[in-house]
Structure 1
Amino acid sequence: MTIIPISPDVTPPPQRELGVGNTGSPSNPSDWWNSLELEKVPELRWPSAYSVYDDMLNSPQVAGVFSAVIQMILGTGWRIDGTGCNPEITRHVARDLALPIVGVSAQDDETALPVEDKFSWDEHAEISVDEYLRYGHSIFEQKAIGGPDGPDGLWHLGKLGWRSGRTITKYNTARDGGLISLEQSAITGVLTSRANKPTPLPVSRVVVYVRNRRGGNWRGESLLRPAYGPWMMSSRAQRIELVLGERAGAPVVVYEAGEKETSLTAGKAIATSVRVGREAGVAIPHGAKLLLKGIDGTLPDLDKTIKRHDERIAGSVLANFLNLGSQSGTGSYALGATFFNAFMLALRKVAKDIARTASRHVVADLVKWNWPGERAPRLVFDEIGANRDALVQALATLVQAGVLTADQDLETFVRAAIGIPGIGSAPRPTQEDS
């Protein structure tokens, strides 16, 4: 082979980075989540953000939309794609994750059968997807079992131990923003070393799902972050509405004293003791009056304000189609196909991020433990939205939460989405009819 010398006039390719990919402050690169420039709402800085996002899910509107997203993602099927890989490696990975293999029928596939006391991808997905969307990150620590002394001489994935983000005190990151290790809050006798310092969790043994990571931002961004403003305004409007109902929802009993009364003590006692009932009654002195005084004027209509902010909550997760056909008059479900498709694309992006991270840091590590240098299979998922049962269940959750109204427009939309003919549609001719 002939080696052609590089001309001195040609600029060589860059071999190291000059800039910094970390997003933290110069004094403490790991405290990016408390930076005023990155999060201006004090309540949403860590660790207080955990409690805020948990409180948001107490709202039926937020919980309904969030549950619909979760159900649509978890309702899809997950599989192991071993294209171009050693079949033995593919079977090993599929067996450890209790998942079927792409292209293998259920009758012939015994690798997806769950094994007692072994790792289950379905259980792992429930936790990881929920936290990934709720807080913006989900953290797990790997644990291997078996090995050379095991029954088959191979390492197996025994566990992905959940590590609460609330316990992570520091993200040690590299210059380019890559993760080096995590540090948990010290627990005496468990996570402390001889120097009474937290034991670092190296990146080689942790799996971190991060949503919308930028540089050293390893806490990510919660799906609920854009909904915080509408949720806060809706909650405040509901509290004000409740106060108005308590203060102005019932008439006030007014006692008007007679000409010879010099004290209102007795009259006030009469007014406060008035009760409504079949045998209710009251006696007042001659010349006095007892009135039921209502509210003069019109109370503010907070219901429209609440509904407006509730619709913005749905729009914050690209679920704009939920607002079509609502009382705000923003359209009909017949026009919701575009919005619904955008919502499906957002859900597929979530599933793609989960699958990519698991493929790189769960599947690849499992293969590396046993077959260094061999190609690892990939974790893939079925088309989200193709599972009609998951779609129907998600819409039912939204109806129960009051996010959607079960009207004729919604029925038309559901029938079109899952391929059921509309009401009054002529049945398709059968072979016998023809």
Structure 2
Amino acid sequence: MTAPIKPPLHPLGVVNEHQYGTLVADVYEHVPDLLYPNSVEIYSMMRRDPRLAAVLAGYTLQLRRAQWQLDGTGCRPEVVQLVADGLGLHVKGQDTETGAFRRGVSWNEHLRAALNCLTFGHAGFELVADVSSGVARLVTLAERLPQSISAIHADPRTGALLGVDQILTSQQRSPQIPADRLAWYCHEREGSAWQGVSLLRPAYAPWLIKREMQRVHAISNRRWGAGVPVMEALPGTVPTPEQMRQAQEMASAARAGDTAGAAAPPGFTLRIAGLSGAVPDTLAFLDWLNREMSAGALMQHLDLGQGGNGGSRALGTAFIDSWTLALETIGEQIADTATRQIAARIVDWNWGQDEPVPVVTVAGVGSRREVTAESLDLLLSSGALSADPALEAWVRREYRLPERTEPPPAPTPPAPEPDDNSPEPEPEPDPPASPPAPAVVARRASRRPRKQPPPEQLTLPIPAAAGTGGGDHG
């Protein structure tokens, strides 16, 4: 038997020798405006674009509508309940509805703020606990906006997050928040780049060109929508430079309106010239830029049916499937960060690092099946569901049916199953067979009763029979 190999205890290499978020330029970003922290301002402007706003809403609203729960498998009940109360989550497997959380963290509000990591690449929160009751309870997840972060520090060897610095103009000393007090959501991190990569990064070039094309299209409509006034000299006249200057001033002063008008100077005539010749199709180019921005976020289904472009149901399903896969991946990433950096720290505060940690889970991302009466009937008839009081209350609430006035009947307990070791009951003897009934042959009665022959009339005295007694007497 060979000896075990000694495992490595310390790293020898480095993730990156430069610190991201400091004055050292990010060598992986070739656009100067997108170097962190300047990129925060650019992404703040990009998220106001109508198409990019629809892209972000398509991701964030689906994730916020998903089913977020706390899975306490393998954990003690008191541990699960403390973490669930701190995060404002329901425990998986508990169908009973609880009251609203008045203290602590609202998970819905925290998730809304945490999804800003899709816009800026990262979203940070500072954990604050309350120990007045003898138990460390999470009471605040204070948001630390990306606009307030001046530097992000990471371990150059392992790439682990060490902490962040904030920019505060009202104080002489900016706060430094260590990593053990932070919940840091990061999208598509590379190495020690804890500022992450924005979901809007692939759309930067189309967005930049789109802004310029919108200005060009607006100027074109404003310039050529009502025509351009032109002063033309009458044939046979040679205007002086002073007359040309006056004609130019009058043409430049002409405006379009309901009561607008102009008088031509002597020797000139006023003409409204319109646009002639072929011009670039700016609207088609803007539509193409919108499609590029949607494709960068795997949301091509937004363009189906737009601008005269159709799309089959199969094509739309393929687009939705790829987008749903991206949604599920981001949801699992958010859940993993919440488990490791929030739930685990609540457990560490109270029971130490050897205690099992409940897991934040997400389900139903990008899918919401409509429950109809037909589907309920199919589920009940197949045995997949049972008609319990909770299901009945939900059906009455969803279909706006009146509440039950009397309690539901108690369910009939199932018959006990026979034990394998119990003796089988003796079969009951069969009852004695009864003798067969005599066969009755049915005869059809005649319509009229049959007449009987009259009885034979006898005459007295009865003559002696011939040949009786002796022979003849003489």
What's the TM-score once normalised by structure 1's chain length? 0.77
Q: Distance in 2 between matches of 1:33 and 1:334?
A: 49
Q: Aligned-pair distance for 1:128?
A: 0.8
Q: Aligned-pair distance for 1:271?
A: 3.7
Identify which range, 47-56 or 177-186, moves more after superposition.
177-186
Q: Does the 8 A contact of 1:76 with 1:382 survive in 2? A: yes
Q: Does the 8 A contact of 1:34 with 1:46 survive in 2? A: no
- Residues 280 and 36 of structure 1: is their aligned pair in 2 closer, same or farther, counting only changes over 3 Å? closer
Structure number, greater radius of gyration: 2
For the residue of structure 2 that corresponds to 1:232, the secondary structure is helix
Q: Distance in 1 between matches of 2:333 and 2:23?
A: 21
Equivalent runs, 1:320-335 vs 2, <5 Å? 320-327=300-307, 329=309, 331-335=311-315
- Residues 208 and 279 of structure 1: is their aligned pair in 2 closer, same or farther, counting only changes over 3 Å? closer
CA RMSD of aligned residues (A): 2.9
Equivalent runs, 1:180-191 vs 2, <5 Å? 180-185=162-167
- Residues 142 and 273 of structure 1: is their aligned pair in 2 closer, same or farther, counting only changes over 3 Å? closer
Equivalent runs, 1:74-89 vs 2, <5 Å? 74-89=64-79
Q: Distance in 2 between matches of 1:71 and 1:381?
A: 14
Q: Which has the higher contact order (CA 8 A, sep 6+)?
A: 1
Q: Distance in 2 between matches of 1:165 and 1:251?
A: 48
User: For residue 433 of structure 2, what is the aligned residue in structure 1?
Assistant: none
Q: Does the 8 A contact of 2:121 with 2:198 survive in 1? A: yes
Equivalent runs, 1:335-350 vs 2, <5 Å? 335-350=315-330
Q: Distance in 2 between matches of 1:183 and 1:35?
A: 17
Q: Does the 8 A contact of 1:101 with 1:109 survive in 2? A: no
Q: Which amino acid aligns with 1:311?
A: R
One of 221, 242, 256 as aligned partner of 2:197: 221
Equivalent runs, 1:377-396 vs 2, <5 Å? 377-387=358-368
User: For residue 239 of structure 1, what is the aligned residue in structure 2?
Assistant: 215
Q: Aligned-pair distance for 1:308?
A: 0.6
Equivalent runs, 1:12-31 vs 2, <5 Å? 12-21=6-15, 23=16, 26=17, 28-31=18-21
- Residues 140 and 282 of structure 1: is their aligned pair in 2 closer, same or farther, counting only changes over 3 Å? closer
Q: Which amino acid aligns with 1:208?
A: W
Note if 1:71 corresponds to 2:57.
Answer: no
Q: Distance in 2 between matches of 1:183 and 1:369?
A: 25
- Output one character per residue of 1:171-225: Cα deviation in whole Å (capped at 9) or x when no partner: 3322111112222235665x83xxxxx4432211111111111221110110110
Q: Aligned-pair distance for 1:140?
A: 0.8
Q: Distance in 2 between matches of 1:128 and 1:70?
A: 10
Number of positions where the alignment pairs a residue of Structure 1 with one of Structure 2: 370
Note if 1:362 corresponds to 2:342.
Answer: yes
User: For residue 103 of structure 1, what is the aligned residue in structure 2?
Assistant: 93
Q: Distance in 2 between matches of 1:172 and 1:277?
A: 61
User: For residue 159 of structure 1, what is the aligned residue in structure 2?
Assistant: 140
User: For residue 119 of structure 2, what is the aligned residue in structure 1?
Assistant: 134
User: For residue 410 of structure 1, what is the aligned residue in structure 2?
Assistant: none
Q: Does the 8 A contact of 2:206 with 2:289 survive in 1? A: yes
Q: Aligned-pair distance for 1:40?
A: 0.2
For the residue of structure 1 that corresponds to 2:153, the secondary structure is strand
Q: Does the 8 A contact of 2:127 with 2:183 survive in 1? A: yes
Gaps of 5+ in 1: 193-197, 389-417, 421-426
Gaps of 5+ in 2: 379-474
Q: Does the 8 A contact of 1:213 with 1:220 survive in 2? A: yes
Q: Distance in 1 between matches of 2:280 and 2:180?
A: 58
For the residue of structure 2 that corresponds to 1:177, the secondary structure is coil
Q: Does the 8 A contact of 2:154 with 2:163 survive in 1? A: yes
User: For residue 113 of structure 1, what is the aligned residue in structure 2?
Assistant: 100
Q: Distance in 2 between matches of 1:346 and 1:269?
A: 60
For the residue of structure 1 that corresponds to 2:91, the secondary structure is coil
Note if 1:41 corresponds to 2:41.
Answer: no
- Output one character per residue of 1:253-302: Cα deviation in whole Å (capped at 9) or x when no partner: 22223427542345445545556667665554675422122223122111
What's the TM-score once normalised by structure 2's chain length? 0.71
